[in-house]
Structure 1
């Protein structure tokens, strides 16, 4: 598959999901059973988490783009993709899935997140092959939101490490993020409305209309910007980044309505989700304090040795 096809999803989904896992794991007892995570040891697992997310995302993208109706849609929305541009055949994509799915399952088993992967592949099959993506917009949103939750859970398991697991608060946080995606992620469909209409897809912009769908995104974004810090009982300063970024995304969604602006707003929405993902770490910043103290102590020891 072309790297051009995958680059947007990598930047707007794979990296934010890996950051969700990194911030969650570093929050220690806030979301996991690890009472005192080590900064360096945790961050060294980040490439593994990113690999797991990337591998599953690749399976989704291949599955999502290989049907004849998807190719016709991409000729309008994303003509640069490999299938509509003729750089790869339908038979090759089928073979990629035949070999890729077992490999990703094996990878997930090795990293201890095979349960989420099995559920995710079931959801991918229902979304793509059973055309759940073409159902009513709220069902489409539900499939996508569940996928986000499963990706996030798997990545957090990898980042937490085999010695620890996700606690009850962590599962609740994954549920909240799943809800956030359910009520806001159709911002992604606004930029693709023309191709979705040609396919006959009942996405939110087509069913609700342009004006209403923008309000249906803007209001939940503001609500989530307030509600997510409230979940962690954080102080007033913690609301600054989520609300300011939320206002920016909501404002742009309502004010700027051309295709170029919608694409940029979608990317800013992905950045807004990253602001939400930092919240667990704000609840327990001790990991950075301990890391700084460790570095300072090491520097003093090296200074004494040198002297």
Structure 2
């Protein structure tokens, strides 16, 4: 029994480590959290749906992360040595088997909710395949940003369908929320690339910081400020909230522009996730004001 217990614990820890770096930004209700987004965009009518939403997100995130980490061995060996493959917790062959075993598990889980949730799962699996196995992650920065945006949109649609009272369709505000979120991701997701520039350069990746070293940081400053104005208008924020969102965007942009060390970029990315979390919560704010 003791051996079985430690084996189970080892498996659980290994699975957690695959998703560890994304837990705070994708699963928990902070940063670019799809669970938080789903509660606002759906909106969530029953708090008992929250565990369903979070588990659906986590399992699909695990599918993406295992796929990504079986592809980016060189990058992880440089930037993220504590991940399961470079740390030796799991072999590459075992990780590849796990990667493909997770696909039917994700689809099977989605069948418990609706056909439309299955479609979102299929879309997410497809964009994962394009991003990783078809090497969009190492291609042109524009393709990478667009595929990222479509993948995040798939996360959001699936999670919102599970969160809402109708698992077969999103209402007009929900659809608009997903479209706006995809636009934000497509134009700002490279905020994550500045802290990884050394590793990305070592494996030949063509990210925005590498392709446009002279003005790459302006591509964070300007979009964050512009999106703050757009969101303020779209979700009808009052003056105080609009100013706070815009000031936060200027603060983050200033950090990216002036604090250019790896540690500085890591902290700036955390602040970017705070702004993104607020942006994802605004549809809920809008719904509450217009209920």
Q: TM-score scaled to structure 1, two decimals?
A: 0.83
Q: Compute the displacement of 1:5 (Å).
A: 4.2
Q: 1:18 aligned to 2:35?
A: yes
Q: Compute the displacement of 1:24 (Å).
A: 1.9
- Whether contact under 8 Å (2:41, 2:177) holds in the other structure is no
Q: 1:47 aligned to 2:64?
A: no
> What is residue 6 of structure 1 aligned with on the other side?
19
> What is residue 137 of structure 2 aligned with on the other side?
133
Which runs of 5 or more structure 1 residues have no equivalent in the other structure? 27-36, 290-307
Q: 1:223 aligned to 2:240?
A: no
- Whether contact under 8 Å (2:191, 2:269) holds in the other structure is yes
User: Which of the numbers 41, 47, 60 marks the counterpart of 1:56?
Assistant: 60
CA deviations over 1:13-72 (Å, ceiling 9, x no partner): 22311101112233xxxxxxxxxx74xx2x2211111111111010000000102xx111
CA deviations over 1:127-157 (Å, ceiling 9, x no partner): 1001011111111111111111111111111
> What is residue 77 of structure 1 aligned with on the other side?
79
> What is residue 302 of structure 1 aligned with on the other side?
none
The correspondence of residues 134-283 of structure 1 with structure 2, limited to 5 A, is 134-162=138-166, 165-209=169-213, 211-283=214-286
Q: Distance in 1 between matches of 2:289 and 2:230?
A: 24
Q: Distance in 1 between matches of 2:40 and 2:167?
A: 18
Q: Compute the displacement of 1:2 (Å).
A: 5.3
The correspondence of residues 28-39 of structure 1 with structure 2, limited to 5 A, is 38=45
Is the alpha carbon distance of 1:163 and 1:111 closer, same or farther for their aligned partners in structure 2, counting shifts above 3 Å?
closer
Q: Compute the displacement of 1:121 (Å).
A: 0.7
- Whether contact under 8 Å (2:68, 2:132) holds in the other structure is yes
CA deviations over 1:219-261 (Å, ceiling 9, x no partner): 1011111111211233323313421321221111111111111
Q: Distance in 1 between matches of 2:35 and 2:77?
A: 31
> What is residue 32 of structure 1 aligned with on the other side?
none
SS at match of 2:90: coil
Q: Distance in 2 between matches of 1:61 and 1:258?
A: 26
Q: Distance in 2 between matches of 1:2 and 1:151?
A: 19
Q: Compute the displacement of 1:122 (Å).
A: 0.8
Moved more, 200-209 or 273-282: 273-282
CA deviations over 1:145-201 (Å, ceiling 9, x no partner): 111111111111111034673112321221111010011110101111111111111
Q: CA RMSD in A?
A: 1.8
Q: TM-score scaled to structure 2, two decimals?
A: 0.88
Is the alpha carbon distance of 1:199 and 1:256 closer, same or farther for their aligned partners in structure 2, counting shifts above 3 Å?
same
> What is residue 86 of structure 1 aligned with on the other side?
88
SS at match of 2:21: helix
Moved more, 216-225 or 92-101: 92-101
Aligned length: 272
Q: Distance in 1 between matches of 2:84 and 2:287?
A: 45
Moved more, 243-252 or 150-159: 243-252
User: Which of the numbers 105, 112, 120 marks the counterpart of 2:124?
Assistant: 120
Q: Distance in 1 between matches of 2:237 and 2:219?
A: 27
Q: Compute the displacement of 1:204 (Å).
A: 1.1
